[in-house]
C-alpha cells in the first residue's frame, strides 16, 4: 500500500537526483508533485465531516461510513427518537444507537451489507421531524452535522422574550445606528417625502419591522435662520418606547439622524 510517507520519500529522492543535473525538467517537477500528492493524501480524512441544512418534515441526504461508525449531530438540538424498519436479514439491516448525553445518534452497517443506502425517520427534542436518506461512502468514520434555520430563529425569539420591551427597543436603536439588521426584522427604505415641523424638515430614511416592534430612522434638517434644539417629543408619535437623536443641537443648514422605536399596535404605531 502506498502511504504518504512513501510518496514523500520518493519525492525527496527525485528532487535530489534532479538537483545533480544541469538542465532537469523531469525529476524535480516529479518530486514536487509526489510531495504534493502526499500532503493531499494525508489531509484526506479531514474531509470526512459533512454539514447539511434541513427543514422540518424535510429529507436529509448524507453519506455513511461503510466500515466504521457514523455520527449524526443536530446543531442546537438533539435527537429524541429514531424510527426504522428491521428487515430480518443481518446483511440488510443497519444499527442506530441514540447517545443520551449529547443527543447524537451513531449508525453502522454490518460487514458485507447488501444495500447501498439506508433510510429512517428521526424526531428531535424541539419537535422537528426529519427523513434521512443516506448512501454508503468510504471506510473512514464520519460525522454529519445537521443545521435547521428554524432552531436559530427560535433561539433568537427566546432571547428577545426574556428582555423587557424597552430593553428590546434600545437594542433595536443600537442596531439601526450601526446599520445592522437584527434577527426577525425586515428592513425597507421607502421613498418618503420630507415633512415640515416648524423650522425642521423630517424625512423617513428606513423602517425596521419585526413581530412586536417597529423602528424608524429619520433625517432631520434645520431649514431655519437660527440654531435649534431638536427634542424627541417633536418627532416621536404617541406610544413611542425609545428615541435617540444623534446631534440635538443644529445650526442653520445642519442635519442630524434620529432613531425612534414603538410597539406594534400601540398609539400611532
> Is 154 contained in some domain?
no
Question: Can you give the pTM of this predicted structure?
Answer: 0.44
In this structure, the answer to whether residues 169 and 253 fall within a common structural domain is yes
> Is 155 contained in some domain?
no
In this structure, the answer to whether residues 54 and 30 fall within a common structural domain is no
> How many residues in the chain?
269
β-pairing verdict for 142-147 and 70-74:
parallel
- Label residue 158 by pLDDT band (50, 70, 90): low
pLDDT in tens, 93-104: 999 999 988 899
Cβ neighbours, 10 Å, residue 14: 21
In this structure, the answer to whether residues 15 and 79 fall within a common structural domain is no
Identify the domain containing residue 203 by its residue range: 160-263
DSSP 25-67: SSHHHHHHHHHHHHHHHHTGGGGGEEEEE--TTEEEEEEE-SS
In this structure, the answer to whether residues 224 and 191 fall within a common structural domain is yes
Final residue of a structural domain among 84, 117, 147: 147
In this structure, the answer to whether residues 34 and 56 fall within a common structural domain is no
- Domain tally, the chain: 3
In this structure, the answer to whether residues 65 and 130 fall within a common structural domain is yes
Q: Give the CATH number, domain containing residue 178.
A: 2.60.40
pLDDT in tens, 45-65: 444 588 898 999 999 999 999
Place of cell 519525492: 11
On whether the CB atoms of residues 241 and 166 are closer than 8 A, the answer is yes
Amino acid at each position: 500500500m502506498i502511504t504518504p510517507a512513501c510518496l514523500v520519500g520518493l519525492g525527496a529522492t527525485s528532487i535530489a537526483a534532479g538537483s545533480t543535473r544541469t538542465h532537469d525538467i523531469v525529476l524535480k517537477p516529479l518530486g514536487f508533485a509526489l510531495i504534493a500528492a502526499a500532503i493531499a493524501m494525508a489531509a484526506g480524512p479531514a474531509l470526512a465531516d459533512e454539514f447539511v441544512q434541513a427543514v422540518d418534515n424535510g429529507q436529509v441526504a448524507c453519506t455513511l461510513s461503510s466500515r466504521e461508525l457514523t455520527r449524526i449531530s443536530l446543531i442546537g438540538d438533539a435527537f429524541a427518537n429514531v424510527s426504522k424498519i428491521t428487515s430480518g436479514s443481518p446483511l440488510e439491516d443497519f444499527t442506530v444507537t441514540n447517545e443520551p448525553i449529547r443527543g447524537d445518534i451513531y449508525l453502522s452497517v454490518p460487514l458485507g451489507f447488501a444495500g447501498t443506502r439506508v433510510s429512517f425517520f428521526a424526531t428531535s427534542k424541539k419537535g422537528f421531524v426529519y427523513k434521512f436518506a443516506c448512501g454508503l461512502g468510504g471506510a473512514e468514520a464520519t460525522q454529519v452535522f445537521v443545521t435547521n434555520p428554524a432552531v436559530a430563529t427560535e433561539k433568537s425569539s427566546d432571547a428577545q422574550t426574556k428582555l423587557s420591551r424597552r430593553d428590546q427597543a434600545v437594542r433595536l436603536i443600537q442596531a439601526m445606528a450601526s446599520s445592522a439588521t437584527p434577527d426577525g426584522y425586515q428592513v425597507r427604505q421607502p421613498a418618503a417625502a420630507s415633512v415640515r415641523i416648524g423650522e425642521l424638515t423630517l424625512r423617513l430614511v428606513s423602517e425596521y419591522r419585526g413581530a412586536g416592534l417597529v423602528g424608524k430612522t429619520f433625517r432631520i434638517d434645520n431649514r431655519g435662520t437660527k440654531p435649534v434644539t431638536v427634542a424627541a417629543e417633536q418627532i416621536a408619535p404617541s406610544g413611542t418606547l425609545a428615541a435617540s437623536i444623534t446631534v440635538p443641537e443644529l445650526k442653520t443648514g445642519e442635519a442630524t439622524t434620529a432613531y425612534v422605536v414603538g410597539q406594534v399596535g400601540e398609539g400611532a404605531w
